[in-house]
Structures are given as structure tokens and as C-alpha cells.
Amino acid sequence: MPRMLTLATISGLLIVAQWSASFRPASAADAEEGFKPMFNGKDLTGWEGEPGYWSVENGTITGQTTKQKPLDHPTYMYWTGGRPHNFELRASYRFQGSFGNSGINFRSERLPHWDIRGYQADMEVGPVCSGTLYECNGRAVMTVRGQLLVIEENGQRKVTTLAPAAELQKLIKPNGWNECAIIARGPAIIIKINGVVMSDVIDRNGAWDGILSLQLHPGPPMKVQFKNIRIKDFFD
């Protein structure tokens, strides 16, 4: 797979270039050619989630728990439009309140009780998880924000630090709108927030296709919203 190793090297160099440019995120005018919407902004057509926790509010897919309706397990809003293989997904997200933990799941498999197994681009109100790659019901935390991780077929891991996690965190708005991008091509996975690479992974032991979903996490009352969800398939 020399091509994918080249992709990892190139993406690593891009991160270094971003940091040498005063940590500026990419332009908001990134090309959208080839992207198709996954959410119509009006109702949950094309999505399926645990009743009572998901709704459409002001043009957003909203997941919410309250004191009156708590959650003691992770629950997911499944996209029913297919099993993307090689793709780029973009979405805007925000939390409202002092607590929030969520994620966008991809290359995953649906499990009973509204659960999933598979990759998650993690996000939260706090300073630890946003921009990391997690594997639900699997290997758990795979990267710390600011890492390039290579996992070989024999399970051997090589980690390179590409940028300070604390400095990357400064680019994320705890209660404002953020733009998340997930790029998956073969074993290569890149997670960006607000145009900047947060995690870069080559995983030779991972799934190469699967469902997409949004997570609502158990814990204190929380509210997470997603909008402008769109996807571009790569056919090479």
C-alpha cells in the first residue's frame, strides 16, 4: 500500500505547513463541487434514531437529554442512505450548555439497542476529546488530537506528534458552530475541525465501509445540533 503511506506523509506535511502559517484554518471558501446533502433541514427523512431523543429544530438535527428524560447509554441517529466507502463528509455542529459529548460515526455497523460498532470523529464541550479518532465498542481511543497514527496489519502502532493538542483546541468553539470534515480513503482517515487537521490515521486493521451516524452521549443533560451535512464519494 505505498500510495496510502504517501497520503499519510503528505497530510502530515500539510499539518506542519498549517502550523507554520500562524495556525490559520483553511478558507471557508473550500470547493463544494461533488458534495450532496444528507439532511433536508426540514424533517428526519433519511435518518432513524431512538424515539424521544432526536428532532429537527431550526434547520438542525438536534439530539437532547434533560433531567426529565435522561440517557444511560449512548444512542445514535443512523443515516439510511448507504454504506460509504471512500468519501469526504462535512457537517457543522455545536453544543448548547456546559456539558456536551457527541461524535460523527462512520464505517460502522449497527448493533441492537440503538448502538454501533466502528469509528467515531469525537467532539465535546471540554478540552480533551474533540478531533480525536475513537472506535466505539472496539479499540476505544485511537488518537490524541494532533497525532499521526499508523497501525500495521500485525497491530504494530507508530505515533508521530504533528501539533500540540492544546493549541489545536484553541481553534474549536466550545458552544459555537464548528465545521467538521472526515476524509476516508482506503486505510487513510483524516479528521479536520474548522479547516485544520486534528487527527491523521493509517489503519490497516480497520473497516473500509459501513454506516454513518450521529451520537448522543449519556451523562448530564445536553444538547447537540448538526446542520449542513453533506458527503462526496471518491470513486478511485
| Dihedral of the alpha carbons of 201, 203, 209, 211, in degrees to the nearest 10 | -60
pLDDT of residue 235: 84
Q: Where are the domains of the chain?
A: 2-233
- As a whole number, the mean pLDDT across the chain is 89
CA angle 5-116-140, nearest 5°? 55
Q: Which three cell numbers stand for residue 107?
A: 464505517
Alpha helices in the chain (DSSP H): 2-20, 165-169
* Pairing between β-strand 60-65 and β-strand 222-233 as defined by DSSP bridges: antiparallel
What sign has the CA pseudo-torsion 133, 135, 37, 184?
Answer: positive
**Which residue ranges of the chain lie beneath pLDDT 70?**
1-31, 236
Beta carbons of 12 and 194 less than 8 angstroms apart: no
Q: How far apart are CA 137 and CA 162, in angstroms?
A: 27
Beta carbons of 198 and 131 less than 8 angstroms apart: yes
The CATH superfamily of 2-233 is Exo-inulinase; domain 1 (2.60.120.560)
Beta carbons of 102 and 109 less than 8 angstroms apart: no
Q: How far apart are CA 169 and CA 145, in angstroms?
A: 8
Provide the whole-model pTM. 0.87
pLDDT of residue 25: 42
DSSP secondary structure letter of residue 185? E
